[in-house]
A and B are shown apart, each in its own frame.
Chain A
Amino acid sequence: MMMRHLKTMLPACVALAGALGFGALAWAAPNAQEILAASDAVRNPNYPFGLTTTLVEYRNGKQTSGSTLAIYSKEQANGGQFRSLIRFVAPARDANKLMLKSGNELWFYDPSSKASIRISPQQRLLGQAANGDIVTVNLAKDYQATLAAEEDIQDGDRQTRRCYKLALAATTPDVTYHNIEMWIDASNNRPVKSRFYTESGRLLKTAYYRRYQNNLGVERPTETVIIDGLDPNWVTVMRFSDYVKREVPETWLQRDYLPRFKPE
C-alpha cells in the first residue's frame, strides 16, 4: 500500500522538485556580465593608478629573462577601456623605453633615437609588454560573458575553489584574444584562472591569478602565472607591487608626450 502510494507520488515529487530546483536556479542565476565587471574591479582600481610589474620568464624550467615595467593607467573618461603608459625599467638594454596604449592606438618610443613608432596590436605581442599590460584591461568592456558552468577547480595556490566558469566572446573585432574562458570565485568575484584563445580556437595562454593581498583597499592578485598555449614549458611569472593611487593627466596619454615623460 505504502509502496503503491509512493509509486503514485514519485512522478509528482520529481516534477515538484524539478520545478523548485529550476525555479531556484532561474531566480539565483547570476548575471555573467556583472560577475565579469566585478572581477575586473578586483584586478584594477577604478581610478588612475600606478604599479610596478616584474616579469620572469622560464623555458624548460630555467629562467631565461627578467624585466621590470612601471605602469601608469587610467580608465577612459566615459568609463571605457584602460589607457596605459608603460615604462621599461629593466633589462638594461630596454631601460627607459616607453609604450603608450590607448585602446588600439599603440606607440613605442625609444629615448635613444627620440623616435615614436606606431605599432599594431600584433606587433605589441612581440615584447614582454604583451604580458605586462594584460593586467590593465577591462574585459567587460570588450567581451560578452555567458555563464558556462559552476564548478570546483584548483586555484593558483592549489586550493579548491567553487567558481563560475564564464565564456567570453569578443564584441569588438580588433581585440587580441577572440575568446576567453574565465573562472571566477563564486564567493567573492576574484579571478582565479583564464584561458585565452585565438579566433580559430587555438589556446594562446593560460593564466592563474594568485597570492591575493590588500592593495589600495581591495584584495588583489599580486601574481599571475602565464603558461604558453603551444609550449607549456614556457612560463611567465608576473608580480605586481607598488600599487599607488596617482594622477595620470590626460596630456600624458598621447604620442607627443612620450619624449617628455619623466616620472619623479
Chain B
Amino acid sequence: MNRLISSLLLATALTAGAALAADSDMDALLLADHASAPPAKASDWRVFVEGAAGRTALRGPGTNSGSILNQRLSIDVQFDKSFAPGWRAVFADRLDINWHNEPSRQNSVNSFKEGYLSWAAAGDQLFDLGRINARHGVAIGYNPTDYFRTGASRSIVSADPSSQKKNRLGSGMLRSQTLWDGGSLTAIYSPKLADQPNRASWNPDWGSTNNQHRWLVAVSHQIAEGINPQWLIYGEEHDATQLGFNLTKLLNDSTVSYVEWSGGRTRSLLTRALNEQGINRPDDSAFRNRVATGLTYTTANKMSLTLEYQYNGAALDKANWDALGRSSPLGYGLYRGAVHNAGDMPTRQAWFLFGTWQDAVVNNLDLSAMVRFNVADRSRLSWLEARYHWDQAEVALQWQRNSGHATSEFGASPQRRIVQAVVRYFF
C-alpha cells in the first residue's frame, strides 16, 4: 500500500514537473515573440571615456602615514578601417589627464599607441608600416618573448596586466607576414628613430620605443591537432640574438596550459643597467633563460584561475638582490629603473596568481583578484577589482596593496595602498 502511494506521489511529481517545464517553455516563447533585436552595424571606431578617483596611501620614511587624492580623466580612441581593397589604416591613441591634490599638480600624458598602414599584396602576403603594437607570447603575467615591450609603458593606470597590455606604445617598424594553412612567417625590422625618451605630454616618444635598431623573425606551424608552437629569433643593436618559443596545450575541457621561453647569450640585467648609465662593469655575458609557464582552470560556475611560475635568469639572485638593496642605493635605483623600463623581473623567480569570477553573486558583476609574489624577498602585490557592466558603461572599484620590506620589489613602492573608483563609458 505504502509502495503504491509512493509511486502515485512520484508520478504526480513528475507530471507536475513536466507541466511546469512546459509552462516555463511557453512563457519563454511568448517573451521571445516580442523580442526586438535589430542587428548592430560594425563600426571602424571604438571610443571610450574613463574617469577615476581614488586615494593613495603613501609609505613615508619610517612611518606609514600620509595619503594623496588622485583623479584621472582618460580618452581612448581606436580606429581601424579598410579604405581600399587590400589597404587598411589603424590608429590608436589615449590621453590621460591626472590630478594629484597633495601636492596640487596636474599632468597630461598622451600615448600615441598605434598608427600604421597595412597592405595585402596577396591574400596571404601582408606588409605593415608605422607604429605597431607587435605582441608575442602566450603567458598572462610575464612575457619573455614580448620583445617589443621595452620602453612601451608610458602611462600606467592600473596593476591589472590586461590594462597594461592595452595601454602601451607600439614600436615604429616595417612588418611583413606570410600565411599558409596552419602557420605563418613574420619578419619585423624596427629602426632607431631617436636617442632618448621624451616625456613631454604630447610627444610621440619614439625615443622610448625606437632608440636602437631591432629585428625579429617568428614562425609558427600546426604540427598536430591543437598543437601550434611558435619559434622566434630576436636581435637588437646592443645585445646578442635571443631565441624564443611559445606553446599552449589543452589538458582537458576546462584547463589550458602554456609555456613561454626566451634564451640567449646576454649580459645580466644589472650590468646592462649600469652600462646604459656609462658605469663600467665587467662583461658578464652568459646564456640566460627566461620562462613563464602556467595553467588556467575554469570551473562550471564561471570562475577562472591562472597560476603562473616566472623565471628570469638575467635578474639578480636572492643574495645579490639583498646586497644591492643594502649597500648601493644608487645601483639599486638604476637597476630598478632599468628593470621597470624593460618590463622585466628584478629577481630570479616569482609566482603570479590571477582569478576572475564572471556574474559573481549578481548578473553582470565580475570580480577579479591578482597576487604577484616575489620568491627572493617575499614581497607581494595584491589587487582586487569589482566591475559591473552594462552594454555601454562600466563601473569598477579597485584596491591594491604593495607589501614587503623597504628594498623589496613591491615594498619599495612609495604607494602602499591604492583605492580607486572607475567609471567608463563607450560611445
Contacts and interface: CB of A to CB of B under 8 A. Distances in A.
Interface of A: 52, 54-56, 58-59, 61, 63-66, 68, 70, 87, 89-93, 95-96, 103-105, 110-123, 125-126, 154, 156, 158, 174, 176, 206, 208, 210, 223, 225, 227, 232-233, 235, 237, 239, 241-242, 249-251, 254-257, 260, 262-264
Contact of B183 (A64, A210, A256): A256
A65 B37 CA distance: 11
A206 B138 CA distance: 36
B222 A254 contact: yes
Given A120-B296, A232-B21, A251 B28 contact: no
B177 to A, nearest CB: 7
A227 B40 contact: no
Q: Which of under 10, 10 to 19, 20 to 34, or 35 or more describes the interface residues of B?
A: 35 or more
A235 B123 CA distance: 41
Given A66-B391, A120-B256, A251 B181 contact: yes
Nearest to A156: B29
10 contacts: A56-B36, A104-B226, A118-B258, A156-B29, A225-B29, A232-B21, A254-B184, A255-B220, A262-B82, A264-B82
A58 B138 CA distance: 36
Contacts, number: 192
Interface in B161-180: 162, 165-166, 177, 179-180
Contacts of A119: 256, 296, 298
Contacts of B21: 206, 232
Contact of B228 (A90, A255, A262): A255
B253 interface: yes
Given A89-B39, A95-B46, A227-B28, A123 B250 contact: no
Residue from A96, A113, A232, A250 having most chain B Cβ neighbours under 10 A = A113
B228 A249 contact: no
Interface of B: 21-22, 24-29, 31-32, 35-43, 46, 48, 78, 80, 82, 85, 88, 92, 123-124, 126, 133-135, 138, 140, 162, 165-166, 177, 179-184, 186, 220, 222, 225-226, 228, 248, 250, 252-256, 258, 296, 298-300, 302, 304, 358, 363-364, 389, 391-392, 394, 426-427
A112 B28 contact: no
A122 B253 contact: yes
Contact of B37 (A56, A114, A249): A56
